Structure 1
């Protein structure tokens, strides 16, 4: 793994780790519905994306998008951006961040299983062991 990739992953980990603390703090200060919170989050992300796309000169790429691209990323947005985040924020509002966040972070288990069955990707011994560790971790946190 290159230092650039490692740096980007570590920034992702930091931002993903910071967001639930901010969200849980916000939920503790108000009785906002998770759908409203998701809407605010989505609008902020869209505005930020607009600035980044314009700032990085990525607008040309918008004209290279196919119908299949739109369909796949629309499904992804509905699954992760809407349904996953809505149920996650609902759990975060009701539960403890120290439990909700680690359990929600087990989504790679679903990805690994679906990748094996749907995408015909290899399922090696190390992936099987990793899956067992994920399941063990869920059991320990509950």
Structure 2
């Protein structure tokens, strides 16, 4: 089931980029990010209430709160930079560079989470990096 959700995530991420590129035309990139964030916020809380997930909020540890807040700050920074880049550049070039986050995630997971970095991981990182370079030249 995780694979289906991952595929749907990729489809909607692709749609996000295209829809944002069209929608950001003539709009301040920070304002566009704020509008997007309000919509995401409403959807996220809607799902919490729809699935009766609010009950677990009191069980969240301080450590989890801290890292969820830091993750939110990183997401906000990512979105602000992404929208600015998308406003200034072509989606076909901005998006591949943005997806270099895959390579960075693999490296960070190895360094900070002590996850296994295999030959397959290394080859994948090299191919993604090479593909990004080819697409952006």
- Fold shared by both chains (TM-score > 0.5): yes
The CA RMSD measured in Å over matched residues stands at: 1.1
Map of 1:38 onto structure 2: 33
Aligned to 2:92: 98
Match among 112, 117, 121 for residue 118 of structure 1: 112
Deviation at 1:94, TM superposition (A): 0.5
Unaligned runs of 5+ residues in structure 2 are none
Normalising by the residue count of structure 1, what TM-score does the alignment of the two structures yield?
A: 0.90
1:77-96 alignment to 2 at 5 Å? 77-79=72-74, 81-96=75-90
In the TM superposition, structure 1's runs of 4+ consecutive aligned residues that sit over 3 Å from their partners are: none
- Work out whether residues 116 and 122 of structure 1, in 8 Å CA contact, stay in contact via their aligned partners in 2: yes
Shift of 1:34: 1.4
1:61 and 2:56 aligned:
yes
How many residues align? The count is 136
TM-score normalized with structure 2 length:
0.93
Task: List alignment gaps of at least 5 residues for structure 1.
Answer: none
